[in-house]
Amino acid sequence: MESMMAEGRAKKYAFIIGILCSCAVMLGWANTWEDIQRESAKIQSVSAQFSQQKHMQILTKPLVSKGRFYFQAPDSVRWEYSSPIKSVLIMQKGSIKRYTQGSRGLVEDASGSLETMQIVLQEIGRWTRGQFTENEHFSATLKGGKSPRIILTPKEKGLSAMISRIVITLSPDRPGVIKSVKILENEGNYTLFEFTDVQINGKISEKLFREVG
Amino acid sequence: MKVFEPSIRWILVLMVMALFSSCSHLPVINHVDPAAAPDTKERCLRPFLDVPYRFIHSLEVSFPGGRTGTLLGVTVVYPAEKTIHSVIMTIEGFLLFDARYDKEVRVNRAVPPFNAEQFAGHMMEDVRLMFLAPEGKLVDAGVYTDGSSVCRYYGNKDTIVDVSIHKDESWEIKAYSSSHDLLRKIRAFDVQTGIPGMVELSGFGFREYSLRLNLISAEAVSPEANHMRPAKTPEDDE
């Protein structure tokens, strides 16, 4: 039971990252929440390359993971790592699965809980509509200027034990595109996601949200 | 009809049989030419670090029912000081477990189930078994029947450790209880320049588990890194 809860918690975190990043990329360049909501309404699909840098005290240089993610409105997500371990998270129509390359090939990872899926779906609904300020898990601050940023701070004590804050940096010269997402933990540990090759409203094959390979 | 009535003698015989059957046996070590014994002892130290190292592994954990889950592990081992720093995280970078062993275990972070009682201690024992030469007394050395070189150590905690090196330079480390029950088995494969590309760890007894560690990177680290202070939380241009 405890193991299942931990799996759920880990997957919740994974999906929060995935969904946050996918939705964050959809954000338009803006100085007000109204601008963000207006830009969000225009987004139907997003695909991008990502690089994930894990900075920790135990490492002298960050552990870098790379991959690609896809989002199709209203709620389909594919979050795929190509290195150092091949791993694919797929969410479609309320169903969430994770596959990881192991000794038996690309197999489904230990399953998470329904509760986690419900929370994630709620987050998607809010973020895709640009409703950061009405989020029950995070309080949001928007900072405009040359490099607009959204800072999310956990409201719950349990979540704040895992994440101290999240900083989403928007692209200054390309509305709708973000430069990076930084998730800060504690003791200098943080994860930085940087996005390149961001394509908005391009055609994404529906198979990507159904098939792993 | 004659009814069988167990006598005291029969009960004693059964008890003695039960006693013998409950005792496991350690693998037989055949002794080599005394002149070759130092070489055998030298070979037995090959699995263990003599300089500080940092390893990054993917950890494939097997759950009951055949399900598997994959995590990332970072381990830094300082053999001279026998200190270990170990971190486990998800592929997405979420830190699940962070602990340090320096004479005693200090847990910096442990998310359930990694906060289970004795998890950190048992994990550090596994890491020590894998990377640090046994602390106990070397009591025997020779070869197994398959020709592998083997050394047997009697540990400080009533454990017996067999370190065997195969002809292809892969190795096995087995830890037994004082009653010779197998407690842990570590098998290292694909050994290149002394570092295994893959390690299988199996736990037996009350809590059975298995773990496969695939090497992502290995690098020697400075001994001074062991005394570095934790980094401060970075500025994020807020």
The CATH classification number of B27-224 equals 2.50.20.10
**Band of the pLDDT at A7, cuts 50, 70, 90?**
low
């004659």: which residue's tokens? Answer: B2
Contact B94 A162 (CB under 8 A): yes
CA angle B116, B117, B119 (to 5 degrees): 70
Q: How many CB atoms lie within 10 A of CB B140?
A: 14
B68 bridge partner residues: A109, B62
B63, B212, B234: residue with CB nearest A110:
B63
ipTM for this model: 0.78
Q: Which of residues 73-112 of A touch B (CB under 8 A)?
A: 81, 84-85, 87, 100-104, 107, 109-111
A2, A52, A109: residue with CB nearest B69:
A109
Element (H, E) at B67: none
What is the residue-wise DSSP string for A164-183?
SEEEEEEPSSSTT-EEEEEE
pLDDT in tens, A152-206: 888 888 778 778 888 888 777 776 677 788 989 877 789 998 989 989 889 999 9
pTM: 0.82
Strand ranges (E), chain A: 45-55, 63-72, 76-83, 87-92, 95-102, 105-108, 138-143, 149-154, 165-170, 178-184, 190-200
Q: Which of B56, B57, B90, B91 to mutate to test the interface with A (most CBs of A within 10 A)?
A: B91
Chain A residues in contact with B109 by the CB 8 A cut-off are 186
Contact B76 A63 (CB under 8 A): no
Residue B228 has pLDDT above 80, yes or no: no
pLDDT in tens, B162-212: 999 999 989 999 999 999 999 999 999 999 988 999 999 999 987 788 899
Chain B residues in contact with A87 by the CB 8 A cut-off are 70, 91
The pLDDT, as a whole number, for residue A19 is 56
The domain ranges of chain B are 27-224
Q: For residue A12, give the nearest of A98, A80, A132, A141 by alpha carbon.
A: A98
Q: Which of A19, A58, A89, A103 to mutate to test the interface with B (most CBs of B within 10 A)?
A: A58
What percent of chain B shows pLDDT beyond 90?
55
